[in-house]
């Protein structure tokens, strides 16, 4: 093994390094000042992100339990990038919290768990990563310790995650029971359409659907998103979801490829109900975090549409969309986080007259929402187009029609927020917000991403080549 452990697992080592450094600083109480700690951590995260592009290699460790390749490296870079953005956008929120070091330690622990989950080539490794990524999340949801809703969110998160993990574990046990192995590489040859195997697949899929908050396993989402602090909500809706999508892609395409007929049927139903239910509920939300929660449920439907095509184009479209989604969703969350941290307002109606007092923030929010709605020239248009194009390759007109027509419904509720900001007047509008450098950087990155990604055709090209 030797040096391989360090080279192949370098992204995990880097994260562990940061975690232990923060832990050391916390224990020794070297840095008491939140601002200094915030700056230090962000620099570390930036270095970590940059480091992700260098010294990458392919290979496997621990007798094939852990693997890494170009696709996984890209996926980890995407997650690193998203985490950095979330860290930047949480700037104003962190100022009011005592236990900033713990926040980052927990946040990075979940990220580490996701990395292990992504690199897993064995169900046990996958499960370990899953648990490592889930348990700290519940603690994070509880980070607004003086708010009852935050605790409520944490309990809901813990219980539903435990249930989802249980279901997943049950599925894994059935895999072992019917095949006698847990290694991803050995499963495809052992698929024999036995009922126990099909049950195993369905249970595993249900576990995934829980984590992705696909309908009908979405019930925890809105409450948890509403109660958690905004940065945690952003993390849940972008990073946690993104990682789960990557793993699902791997499991469906590489492990259960032989059951494509079954998973297409399952996805078919899930996509239709997820898009429709997500949209219908998003229509009537008043709280902006709940609103983003339901809109993100609908987005998952579109992501699954890309996955269900079962070809390299679909996988590439999915990955591409996650990148676009990070920019668009985090752009919106940056504004929500600022407003929430500065004024405590989280209702859509509070955003009335927002443009008049904060024009720049208004445009960032509007652009992000348009991108989420898939309106050109924003990146979201391209992301959605490629997902729908990939979905069309299955030849299912029903799926494509439902996806295309639901874009109209979703445009309605995104426009509601835009209308509140730009058109409606309020007696008590949000005053002009002043904020530091970090959120500005986050917003600038998001806006540049939203506006330019679609015109850089090489990105999709690069991703597609990875999958071929």
- Of 51-59, 94-102, 279-287, 456-464: span binding another protein (CB under 8 A): 456-464
- Does the protein bind another protein through residue 219 (CB under 8 A)? no
Q: How would you classify the pairing of strands 66-68 and 59-61?
A: antiparallel
State the number of binding residues for another protein (CB under 8 A). 35
**Measured from the CB of residue 467, what is the shortest distance to another protein in angstroms?**
10
Integer Rg of the chain from CA: 21
- Does the protein bind another protein through residue 40 (CB under 8 A)? no
**Considering only residues 103, 104, 246, 422, which one is a binding residue for another protein as defined by CB under 8 A?**
422
- My answer on whether omega of the bond before 216 falls inside 30° of 0, hence cis, is yes
Which pair of tokens denotes residue 231? Answer: 């940065």
- Of 147-155, 285-293, 329-337, 419-427: span binding another protein (CB under 8 A): 419-427
CA distances from 318 to 71, 246, 248, 312, 399 (A): 12, 9, 11, 10, 16
**Measured from the CB of residue 272, what is the shortest distance to another protein in angstroms?**
15
Interface of this chain with another protein, residues 314 to 333, rule: CB under 8 A: 316
Helices (H), 213-287: 219-227, 230-235, 241-250, 260-283
- Does the protein bind another protein through residue 189 (CB under 8 A)? no
Q: Mapping DSSP to helix (H, G, I), strand (E, B) and coil, where does residue 245 land?
A: helix
- Does the protein bind another protein through residue 95 (CB under 8 A)? no
Separation CA 132–CA 126 (nearest Å): 10
Is residue 150 within 8 Å of residue 227, measured between CB atoms?
yes
Kindly provide the residue ranges of all beta strands, DSSP E only, lying in 37-187, ordered along the sequence. Answer: 59-61, 66-68
Give the residue among 370, 363, 287 at the shortest CA–CA distance from 328: 370
Separation CA 134–CA 112 (nearest Å): 11
CB-wise, 19 or 316, nearer to another protein? 316
108: CB partners within 8 A, 6+ apart: 15, 18, 19, 22, 83
- Does the protein bind another protein through residue 202 (CB under 8 A)? no
**Measured from the CB of residue 398, what is the shortest distance to another protein in angstroms?**
11
Q: What's CA 305's distance to the chain center, in Å? A: 16
**Measured from the CB of residue 148, what is the shortest distance to another protein in angstroms?**
36
- Does the protein bind another protein through residue 425 (CB under 8 A)? no
Total Cβ atoms within 10 A of residue 15: 24
Q: What is the 8-class DSSP label of residue 67?
A: E
Is residue 25 within 8 Å of residue 42, measured between CB atoms?
no
CA distances from 417 to 200, 283, 292, 336, 367 (A): 42, 11, 11, 12, 12
**Considering only residues 46, 276, 283, 400, which one is a binding residue for another protein as defined by CB under 8 A?**
400
Which pair of tokens denotes residue 17? Answer: 């390094």
**Considering only residues 313, 314, 331, 429, which one is a binding residue for another protein as defined by CB under 8 A?**
313
CB-wise, 8 or 421, nearer to another protein? 421
Interface of this chain with another protein, residues 128 to 187, rule: CB under 8 A: none
- Does the protein bind another protein through residue 460 (CB under 8 A)? yes
CB-wise, 141 or 316, nearer to another protein? 316
CB-wise, 161 or 378, nearer to another protein? 378
**Considering only residues 173, 183, 393, 426, which one is a binding residue for another protein as defined by CB under 8 A?**
393
**Measured from the CB of residue 371, what is the shortest distance to another protein in angstroms?**
11
- Of 127-135, 240-248, 402-410, 431-439: span binding another protein (CB under 8 A): 402-410
- Does the protein bind another protein through residue 370 (CB under 8 A)? yes
Total Cβ atoms within 10 A of residue 457: 10
Residues that bind another protein (CB under 8 A): 313, 316, 366, 370, 375-377, 381-382, 385-386, 388-389, 392-393, 395, 397, 400-401, 404-405, 407-408, 411-412, 415, 418-419, 422-423, 457, 460-461, 464-465
């Amino acid at each position: 093994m030797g040096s391989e452990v360090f080279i192949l697992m370098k992204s995990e080592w880097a994260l562990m390094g940061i975690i232990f450094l923060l832990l050391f600083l916390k224990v020794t109480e070297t840095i008491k000042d939140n601002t200094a700690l915030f700056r230090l951590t962000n620099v570390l995260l930036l270095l970590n992100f940059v480091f992700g592009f260098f010294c990458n290699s392919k290979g496997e460790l621990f007798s094939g339990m852990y693997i890494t390749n170009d696709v996984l490296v890209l996926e980890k870079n995407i997650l690193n990038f998203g985490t950095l953005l979330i860290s930047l956008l949480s700037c104003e929120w962190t100022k009011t919290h005592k236990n900033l070091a713990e926040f980052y330690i927990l946040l990075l622990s979940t990220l580490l768990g996701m990395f292990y989950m992504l690199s897993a080539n064995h169900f046990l490794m996958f499960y370990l990563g899953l648990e490592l990524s889930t348990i700290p999340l519940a603690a994070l949801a509880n980070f607004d310790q003086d708010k009852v809703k935050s605790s409520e969110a944490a309990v809901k998160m813990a219980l539903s995650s435990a249930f989802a993990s249980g279901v997943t574990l049950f599925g894994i046990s059935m895999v072992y029971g019917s095949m006698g192995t847990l290694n991803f590489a050995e499963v495809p040859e052992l698929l024999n359409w036995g009922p126990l195997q099909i049950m195993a697949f369905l249970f595993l899929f249900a576990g995934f659907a829980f984590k992705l908050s696909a309908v009908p396993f979405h019930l925890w989402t809105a409450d948890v998103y509403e109660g958690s602090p905004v940065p945690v909500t952003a993390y849940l809706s972008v990073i946690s979801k993104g990682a789960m999508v990557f793993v699902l892609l791997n499991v469906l395409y590489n492990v259960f490829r032989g059951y494509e007929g079954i998973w297409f049927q399952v996805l078919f139903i899930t996509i239709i109900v997820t898009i429709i239910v997500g949209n219908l509920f998003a229509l009537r939300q008043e709280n902006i975090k709940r609103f983003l929660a339901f809109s993100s449920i609908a987005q998952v439907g579109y992501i699954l549409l890309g996955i269900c095509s079962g070809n390299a184009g679909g996988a590439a479209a999915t990955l591409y969309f996650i990148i676009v989604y990070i920019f668009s969703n985090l752009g919106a969350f940056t504004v929500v986080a600022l407003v929430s941290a500065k004024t405590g307002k989280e209702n859509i109606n509070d955003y009335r007259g927002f443009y008049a007092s904060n024009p720049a923030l208004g445009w960032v929010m509007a652009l992000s929402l348009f991108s989420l709605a898939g309106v050109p020239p924003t990146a979201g248009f391209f992301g959605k187009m490629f997902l729908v194009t990939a979905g069309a390759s299955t030849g299912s007109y029903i799926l494509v029609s439902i996806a295309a027509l639901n874009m109209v419904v979703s445009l309605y509720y995104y426009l509601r927020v835009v209308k509140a900001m730009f058109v409606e007047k309020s007696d008590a509008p949000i005053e002009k917000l002043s904020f530091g450098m970090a959120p500005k950087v986050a917003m600038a990155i998001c806006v540049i991403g939203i506006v330019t990604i679609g015109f850089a055709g090489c990105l999709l090209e690069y991703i597609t080549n990875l999958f071929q």
